[in-house]
Amino acid sequence: MKKIFAFGAFLAFLATTTVAATSPQITGAYLETRSADVYVGQCFANGEMNTAGQEAIVAWHIGEGKWDGVSLDGLTIVGAINAQATLGDPYGKPYPAKSVLLVDRQATPEQRQALINFAQEMGGELLRHVVRVVDAPIDMEVAQGEHSTRARLQAGHEVTVETRAIGEKDHLCGNEDTFYKPLTQTAHAMPAVAMTDEYRGKDLNTSWTLHDKRSAFVGTFAR
């Protein structure tokens, strides 16, 4: 009887540790824009390679969770990127890329550093070379629903993004598909139209204002 009890206790412990190991420690909403279409036919995509797609914006709004042991519930961090070639092109060499991080002004100093560490972990090479960190008021809204593609982002005076769903009138050649994957790890992501995709900072030696491109992803992350 004791052996049966001990074995049962071991199985319960194993199940508990497995759940703990696989449960995400931080979750929330994700938004991404590129200066090249991501939902596009191959002929259009080939036309943009090496002429567009070097610029990107990535944003994470933390719904709940911790990073480096610090609670980040309700905070947001945004990265603006200028790469050396079309991001996502398997034959391109976009790195090293320069980036600017915009950190939620509501964060405490401890949360601020944890947000930076989180973004750099999620962004990898995209955010490895940060040329400036800006504390800014950030407002990011993503419509509820697993397949929602409506989102809005305002980060200081530097970043403005607004997206909508892809509709019938957005199919230009009839062979469109999700040509590129999101630039960072996501739990779920849907391509969307970026009605506005704007970066107005001066630290990347470039700025951009784009409208009505099929160049965005809206989704969720879990890490």
Percent of the chain residues topping a pLDDT of 70: 84
Output phi, psi for 157, to 5 deg. -95, 0
DSSP letters for 44-93: HHHHHTTTS--EEEEEEEEEEEEETTEE-TT-EEEEEEE-SS-TT-TT--
Helix (H) or strand (E) holding 204: none
Residue type, 130: V
Torsions phi, psi of 95, nearest 5? -110, 150
Q: Which two tokens stand for residue 63?
A: 């719904």
Instruction: Say how many CA atoms lie within 13 Å of 105 toward its Cβ.
Output: 9
**Residue keyed to tokens 């797609």:** 53
Domain range summary for the chain, segments of one domain joined by +: 26-222
What is the pTM (predicted TM-score) of this model? 0.87
User: With 50 as the cut, is the pLDDT of residue 11 above it?
Assistant: no
What digits encode the pLDDT tens for the residues 152-199?
999 999 999 999 999 878 776 667 778 899 999 999 999 999 999 999
Q: Could you say which DSSP state residue 138 is in?
A: E
Residues 77, 58: Cα–Cα separation, whole Å: 9
